[in-house]
Amino acid sequence: MKIERIELHLVNMPLVKPFETSFGREDREVHIIVKIYADGLIGYGESPVGQTPGYAYETGETAWHIQSEFLAPAIINREISDIEDFLKMTAPVRGHHFAKHGFECALWHLFSLQQNKPLYQLLGGTQKIIRSGVSVGIQKSIAELLGVIGDFLDEGYKRIKIKIKPGWDFEPVKAIREKFGDVPLMADANSAYSLQDISLFRELDPFSLMMIEQPLHYQDLTQHAQLQKQIKTPVCLDESIAGVAMAEAAIALKSCKIINIKPARVGGLTKAKQIHDLCQNNRIPVWCGGMLEMGIGRACNIALSTLPNFTLPGDVSSSKKYFHRDIINPEILFENGELTVPEEPGLGFIPDDAVIAKFTENRWVLSG
């Protein structure tokens, strides 16, 4: 197919409730929606960049620059027969995974529409029902945390993940276990600790957490390996797994027992699938994390989660958890913590241009 037109939309949407992690507190998401036109079809993608370079070095400004100055010019008026063509054309751009993911997701959408198949089938997915957990940010008090968790459990979510940071770790976990018993529970540190905190991690062992996610430095593998040797709780890596090579190294070093795969973090669905396959071959379970995506990015995560080694509930929850109105129709809705994967061609959900336009604060167009 020949790429005829590319649009970037900087979409600014308020969250239903502020979301706090060890990086800080967010009350809105500002993501880039990518539209690529080819052969009478439109493919949609999403770059779920942060507003600050906390989780990753990319922000809306950096991704916009890379997409408009480098990625779009590299493919406009070019024939692209498969995703590998796109990867070769944009290979001179190192890094900038969130920026690339938005473009690649749009191209996957185009190919699924062109072939009249749902995206998950193009990826090789086999699971027809996706189980979802839910991510709970840092709350003002333990009582408030327990109330939020209780509401999500009543909605049927299959796993609870809480964000932790120094001073908000042992006591919240203890309170959750006392209140809700053996509910599947994990803790996400977002690199907030060091090996000097080994005593804390040992204190958490008796609570039988599913995993502790990214406890140490975001670029580290060796210290995570040391930590995993000294605690019973499985270590899960997130930020440290920036690509396939890092996943290979983590497995070789035994830095973790579980890997969180986020397609935006690793540069797209293709790289995400490669990491999935690597982990499957090495019997490392994976799950799909989230970046508070709007509906387009969330739909891509759903498609990815149908691959067979996604055996743990992911963070792909209902639209209403984060947004008053999502940018797709129908909105994503998990019932009792489960979603039947859509069989319609494409994303399985239809992007709503009117809602995208309503929340767009900047727009850029490149035509052939």
pLDDT tens for the 368 residues of the chain, in order? 999 999 999 999 999 998 888 777 889 999 999 999 999 999 999 999 999 998 999 999 999 999 999 999 999 999 999 999 999 999 999 999 999 999 999 999 999 999 999 999 999 999 999 999 999 999 999 999 999 999 999 999 989 999 999 999 999 999 999 999 999 999 999 999 999 999 999 999 999 999 999 999 999 999 999 999 999 999 999 999 999 999 999 999 999 999 999 999 999 999 999 999 999 999 999 999 999 999 999 999 999 999 999 999 999 889 998 999 999 999 999 999 999 999 999 999 999 999 999 999 999 999 98
| C-alpha 341, offset from chain centre | 17
Q: What radius of gyration, in Å, describes the C-alpha atoms of the chain?
A: 20
User: What is the pLDDT, as a whole number, of residue 317?
Assistant: 87
DSSP-H helix ranges across 187-240: 198-204, 222-230
Catalytic site includes residue 254 = no
- Other C-beta atoms within 10 Å of 329: how many? 12
Residue with tokens 């990815």: 304
Contact 204, 181 (CB under 8 A): no
Which of 100, 163, 271, 273 is catalytic? The answer is: 163
Q: Is-contact 288 315, C-beta < 8 A?
A: yes
Query: How confident is the model at residue 104, as a pLDDT?
Result: 98
Give the model confidence (pLDDT) of 215-236 as tens digits: 999 999 999 999 999 999 999 9
Q: For residues 113 and 41, what is the distance between their CA atoms, to the nearest angstrom?
A: 8
pLDDT at residue 22 in the model:
74
Superfamily of domain 121-340 in the CATH hierarchy:
Enolase-like C-terminal domain (3.20.20.120)
262 catalytic? Reply is: yes
* Domain coordinates in residue numbering, the chain: 3-116+351-367, 121-340
d(CA 332, CA 267): 24
Burial of 38-56, coded b for 16+ CB within 10 Å and e otherwise, reads beebbbbbbbbbbeeebbb
Predicted local confidence at residue 121, as pLDDT = 98
Cross-strand partners of 213: 188, 236
Please count the other Cβ atoms lying within 10 Å of the Cβ belonging to residue 90.
21
State pLDDT tens for residues 165-214: 999 999 999 999 999 999 999 999 999 999 999 999 999 999 999 999 99
pTM exceeds 0.75, yes or no? yes
How far does Cα 138 stand from its chain's mean position? Answer: 19
Catalytic residue among 35, 262, 273, 321: 262
What dotted CATH number matches 3-116+351-367?
A: 3.30.390.10
d(CA 87, CA 74): 11
Strands of the chain (E only): list them.
3-21, 24-38, 41-47, 129-131, 134-136, 160-163, 185-188, 212-213, 235-237, 258-261, 286-288, 328-329, 338-340, 350-351, 360-367
DSSP states of 270-282: HHHHHHHHHHHHT
Give residues with Cβ within 8 angstroms of 320, minimum separation 6: 16, 331, 333
